[in-house]
Chains A and B, each alone.
Chain A
Amino acid sequence: EAGVVQSPRYKIIEKKQPVAFWCNPISGHNTLYWYRQNLGQGPELLIRYENEEAVDDSQLPKDRFSAERLKGVDSTLKIQPAELGDSAVYLCASSPNRQGGGYTFGSGTRLTVV
């Protein structure tokens, strides 16, 4: 089993530029999450998908962030335009369902905005 696959692994962009992150969850996992982790902090939930439906995006800064999960499998998280404060690690995770069994995280995308 490949696990949760994310790309790119690292990204450096100038402020005001757009950026996109991609995630391929574990096959059969209906629930997909995007988290943001700042240095020295715990992950913070941005959005949760149940299949292709975004069921909780209350923490997503909607003025500049968007996400989609077409066909209920792969997901893309986009920032446009990026700000300096967006520098962080963006983690994708999946689980069979919301209730439990543990999340499997991908390796993350480390974003640096300069």
Chain B
Amino acid sequence: GQQVMQIPQYQHVQEGEDFTTYCNSSTTLSNIQWYKQRPGGHPVFLIQLVKSGEVKKQKRLTFQFGEAKKNSSLHITATQTTDVGTYFCAGLYSGGGADGLTFGKGTHLIIQP
């Protein structure tokens, strides 16, 4: 079935450093979404990317969708302790297969003050 691969699994950064997580699918996605899950919490929707090559920004967060609609990235500039959590990408596939979002395994962001 469809799989969404996400790297790295863990990322330790010093507060103020930048952070990037990458997401890759072997097949073309209809759209890709990003979620954040705080420790002990549930996934919270951040953004959705639909168009090839799309770039969206939310304050210090920059999201990109690849030209082939198979990969995506999330970049955080100057991390803060409030950014701690697990960031998941989730792809929606058009056509056959599971009709809900397929989540990656997530990148756990750990920030050292």
Contacts and interface: CB of A to CB of B under 8 A. Distances in A.
Contacts of A59: 98
Interface string A31-53: 00101000011111100100000
Interface residues of B, number: 25
Interface in A65-94: 91
A102 interface: yes
B103 A42 contact: yes
Interface residues of A, number: 25
A106 B42 contact: yes
A55 B98 CA distance: 10
A45 B42 contact: no
A43 B43 contact: yes
Prevailing SS type, chain A contact patch:
loop
A48 B99 CA distance: 7
B52 interface: no
A100 B105 contact: no
A105 interface: yes
A59 to B, nearest CB: 6
B44 interface: yes
A105 B99 contact: no
Contact of B100 (A40, A45, A101): A45
Nearest to B100: A45
Given A42-B105, A44-B103, A58-B98, A105 B92 contact: no
A25 interface: no
A40 B105 CA distance: 8
Contacts of A11: none
Interface of A: 33, 35, 40-45, 48, 55-56, 58-59, 91, 98-108
Interface of B: 6, 30-31, 33, 41-45, 47-48, 50, 88, 90, 92, 98-106, 108
Given A35-B100, A42-B106, A104-B45, 5 more contacts: A42-B6, A42-B88, A42-B103, A58-B98, A105-B44
